[in-house]
């Protein structure tokens, strides 16, 4: 009995080995980027959504999409900027489709981290100020809010933010300026009320 | 209350963080109320920046990165299992097509040449170097009226779905199992050199030299007449 086998005589075994090696390299490189930029994706999403749970879901989705498209990214040095745009876009999509604004406001009213205060009264004042700040941040347009938060995140210069978002440096500066002015206008009255207590 | 005329200038100066200059600086030096208002504005923006720093650098949940890694692992496994299923289906389809092709050609050969029959006890699958075809290997069908049954098995050497989809560049070949390695090697040589190579491998030790043929020695003929020979 003659046994025939069906083969693809194109060096398939070698091609498979090469492909698996390339995939392992990709996974290794992506893991490095994940550790470096994963928190950034979360913070961008949280800055837009103002909700921890939604921000974690969006960040997870953004990182997964980045992994699936990682091979197509020509310049790996632009991964950070690319991830910021993916996270921002996904967060905006989630924000527009979400119908739970009341739940977000409830979650956002109790800030998780506060700067240390000297006295109980100071603590109450700082908590209150942070709560008002967070609410005012939520009322800012998303583009202004994103630029403001990226500027406040550690290690981001104006030039880096401009490169991340693909906008001119002057635009970044003007957005930061207008955003801070708008926040100050909203918070000024609360500061005055606090002082008169 | 600061002077109304300088209110906006005070706010802008506090927002930019630049020291007051020119007319505003002169006014601040003279007006205590505006000086106090300017100090309050700067304190406000300072608090605002501190609050933004807290909001922007919030702690990342510890579960984020592990969950992302788990999702990536799930995606990779799902892709592999999908590819395995695809390979199995493609292999089965290829075997069916090959079987039908063999049967079709066998019937055609029987119909065209009813007298000629080719019998093989163990028919090998001969390798024909392609001359004009782009496919590196064309395996002629196994012919025979009463040839032995052949059992076709699929090896693990299937390519990815993308390679299988592009059949023009990576053909599939039915070969006897003992010739599998030879065919693979032949195809590799073909793909590298783009012409029919010698089946024998070039070994660096022995250099092939042209065969030397000795000149033909033709003895000179001594022709004698028969009558002269008899006389002698």
The overall average pLDDT reported for chain B is 71
Of A149, A177, A188, the CB nearest to B56: A149
User: Any CB–CB contact under 8 A between B217 and chain A?
Assistant: no
Closest Cα in chain B, distance from residue A160 (Å): 16
Q: Residue A102's pLDDT is what?
A: 58
Chain B residue closest in CA terms to A35: B65
Closest Cα in chain B, distance from residue A99 (Å): 23
Name the DSSP class of A67: H
Q: And the tokens for A160?
A: 């880096």
d(CA A116, CA A130): 12
Strands B173-176 and B150-154: unpaired
CB-based contacts of A11, cutoff 8 Å, min separation 6: B184, B187, B188, B191
Q: Residue B121's pLDDT is what?
A: 47
Q: Residue A87's pLDDT is what?
A: 92
In this structure, are residues B136 and B191 in contact, taking their beta carbons and an 8 Å threshold? yes
User: Any CB–CB contact under 8 A between B125 and chain A?
Assistant: yes
- High-pLDDT (> 70) share of chain A, %: 77
Q: Residue B129's pLDDT is what?
A: 47
CB contact under 8 A, A6 and B63: no
Question: Residue B106 — very low, low, confident or very high, per pLDDT cuts 50/70/90?
Answer: confident
Of A2, A148, A183, the CB nearest to B122: A2
Asked if residue A171 has pLDDT above 90, the reply is: yes
List phi, psi (to 5°) of B151: -110, 120
CB contact under 8 A, B152 and A4: yes
Q: Which of A193-197, B58-62, B112-116, B183-187 has the highest mean pLDDT?
A: B58-62
In this structure, are residues A7 and B155 in contact, taking their beta carbons and an 8 Å threshold? yes
DSSP secondary structure string for all residues of A142-177: HHHHHHHHHHHSTT--HHHHHHHHT--HHHHHHHHH
Of A8, A38, A149, the CB nearest to B157: A8
Q: For chain A, give the longest Cα–Cα distance.
A: 101
Q: Residue A176's pLDDT is what?
A: 92
Q: And the tokens for B216?
A: 């033909």
- Predicted complex: ipTM over 0.90: no
Asked if residue B78 has pLDDT above 60, the reply is: yes
In this structure, are residues B38 and B13 in contact, taking their beta carbons and an 8 Å threshold? yes
Contacts of B153 in chain A (CB under 8 A): 3-6
| Mean local confidence (pLDDT), B188-198 | 62
Q: Residue B212's pLDDT is what?
A: 82
Higher confidence at residue B142 or residue B79?
A: B79
Reduced to 3 states (helix: H, G, I; strand: E, B; else coil), residue A69 is coil
**What length is written for chain B?**
232
Of B48, B53, B71, the CB nearest to A187: B48
CB contact under 8 A, B56 and A68: no
Question: Residue A116 — very low, low, confident or very high, per pLDDT cuts 50/70/90?
Answer: very low
Reduced to 3 states (helix: H, G, I; strand: E, B; else coil), residue A102 is helix
d(CA B118, CA B141): 12
- The DSSP element (H or E) to which A5 belongs, if any, is strand A2-7
Question: Residue A172 — very low, low, confident or very high, per pLDDT cuts 50/70/90?
Answer: very high
Best probe of the A interface among B51, B124, B155, by most A CBs < 10 A, is: B51
Asked if residue B142 has pLDDT above 50, the reply is: no
Chain A residue closest in CA terms to B171: A8
Minimal CA–CA distance to B27: which of B45, B42, B8? B8
Asked if residue A131 has pLDDT above 60, the reply is: yes
Degrees, nearest 5: CA angle A140-B54-B46: 75
| Mean local confidence (pLDDT), A65-79 | 85
User: Any CB–CB contact under 8 A between B56 and chain A?
Assistant: yes
Q: Residue A174's pLDDT is what?
A: 93
Q: What is the dihedral of CA B16, B22, B24, B25, to 10 degrees?
A: 90
For residue B153, list its beta bridge partners: A5
Flag the least confident range among A70-74, A179-183, B184-188.
Answer: B184-188
- High-pLDDT (> 70) share of chain B, %: 58
Question: Residue B104 — very low, low, confident or very high, per pLDDT cuts 50/70/90?
Answer: confident
| Mean local confidence (pLDDT), B149-156 | 46
Cβ atoms within 10 Å, residue B23 = 11
Contacts of B41 in chain A (CB under 8 A): 184
Q: Residue B54's pLDDT is what?
A: 86
Contacts of B126 in chain A (CB under 8 A): none
Minimal CA–CA distance to A31: which of B76, B82, B59? B76
CB contact under 8 A, A38 and B67: no
d(CA B57, CA A153): 6
Flag the least confident range among A27-31, A105-109, A111-115.
Answer: A111-115
SS3 letters for chain B? CCCHHHHHHHHHHHHHCCCCCHHHHHHHHHCHHHHHHHHHHHHHHHHHHHHHHHHHCCCCCCCHHHHHHHHHHHHHHHHHHHHHHHHHHHHHHHHHHHHHHHHHHHHHHHHHCCCCCCCCCCCCCCCECCCCCCCCCECCCCCCCCCCCEEEEECCCCCCHHHHHCCCCCCCEEEEHHHHHHHHHHHHHHHHHCCCCCCCCCCCCCCCCCCCCCCCCCCCCCCCCHHHHHHC
Question: Residue B225 — very low, low, confident or very high, per pLDDT cuts 50/70/90?
Answer: confident
- High-pLDDT (> 90) share of chain A, %: 25
Minimal CA–CA distance to B52: which of A187, A149, A112? A149
CB contact under 8 A, A112 and B59: yes
**CA–CA distances in Å: residue B64 to residues A79, A113, A170, B132:** 19, 19, 34, 58
Q: And the tokens for A152?
A: 């406040």
Question: Residue B214 — very low, low, confident or very high, per pLDDT cuts 50/70/90?
Answer: confident
Contacts of B160 in chain A (CB under 8 A): 19
Q: Residue A118's pLDDT is what?
A: 43
| Mean local confidence (pLDDT), B190-216 | 66
Higher confidence at residue A120 or residue A149?
A: A149
HSE of A119, CA atoms in CB hemisphere, 13 A: 3
List phi, psi (to 5°) of B24: -60, -45
Question: Residue A170 — very low, low, confident or very high, per pLDDT cuts 50/70/90?
Answer: very high
**CA–CA distances in Å: residue A50 to residues A13, B39, B49:** 50, 31, 18
Question: Model pTM?
Answer: 0.55
CB-based contacts of B36, cutoff 8 Å, min separation 6: B2
Reduced to 3 states (helix: H, G, I; strand: E, B; else coil), residue A137 is helix
């Amino acid at each position: 009995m003659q046994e025939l086998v069906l083969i693809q005589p194109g060096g398939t075994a070698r091609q498979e080995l090469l492909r698996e090696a390339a995939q392992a390299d990709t996974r290794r490189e992506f893991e490095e980027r994940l550790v470096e930029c994963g928190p950034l994706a979360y913070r961008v999403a949280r800055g837009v959504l103002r909700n921890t749970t939604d921000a974690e879901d969006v960040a997870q989705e953004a990182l997964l999409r980045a992994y699936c498209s990682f091979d197509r990214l020509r310049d790996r040095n632009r991964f950070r900027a690319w991830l910021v745009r993916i996270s921002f876009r996904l967060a905006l999509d989630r924000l527009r489709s979400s119908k739970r604004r009341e739940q977000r406001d409830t979650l956002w009213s109790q800030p998780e981290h506060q700067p240390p205060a000297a006295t109980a009264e100071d603590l109450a004042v700082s908590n209150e100020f942070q709560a008002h700040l967070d609410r005012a941040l939520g009322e800012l347009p998303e583009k202004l809010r994103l630029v403001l938060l990226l500027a406040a995140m550690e290690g981001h210069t104006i030039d880096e933010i401009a490169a991340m978002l693909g906008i001119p440096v002057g635009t970044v500066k003007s957005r930061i300026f207008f955003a801070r002015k708008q926040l100050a206008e909203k918070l000024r009255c609360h500061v005055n009320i606090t002082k008169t207590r | 209350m600061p002077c109304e005329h300088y209110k906006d200038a005070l706010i802008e100066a506090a927002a930019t963080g630049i020291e007051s200059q020119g007319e505003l600086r002169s006014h601040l030096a003279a007006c205590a109320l505006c000086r106090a208002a300017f100090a309050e504005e700067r304190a406000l923006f300072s608090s605002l920046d501190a609050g933004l720093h807290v909001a922007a650098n919030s702690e990342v949940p510890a579960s984020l990165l592990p969950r992302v890694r788990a999702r990536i692992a799930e995606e990779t496994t799902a892709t592999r299992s999908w590819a395995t299923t695809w390979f199995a289906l493609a292999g089965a389809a290829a075997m069916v097509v090959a079987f039908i092709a063999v049967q079709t050609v066998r019937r055609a050969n029987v119909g065209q040449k009813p007298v000629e029959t080719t019998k093989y006890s163990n028919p090998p699958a001969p390798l024909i170097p392609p001359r004009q075809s782009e496919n590196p290997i064309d395996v002629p069908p196994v012919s025979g009226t009463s040839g032995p049954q052949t059992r076709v098995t699929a090896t693990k050497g299937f390519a990815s779905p993308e390679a299988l989809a592009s059949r023009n560049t990576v053909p599939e070949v039915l070969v006897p199992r003992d010739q599998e390695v030879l065919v693979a090697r032949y195809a590799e040589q073909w793909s590298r050199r783009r012409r029919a190579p010698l089946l024998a491998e070039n070994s660096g030790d022995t250099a092939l030299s042209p065969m030397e043929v000795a000149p033909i020695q033709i003895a000179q003929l001594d022709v004698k007449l028969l009558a002269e020979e008899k006389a002698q």
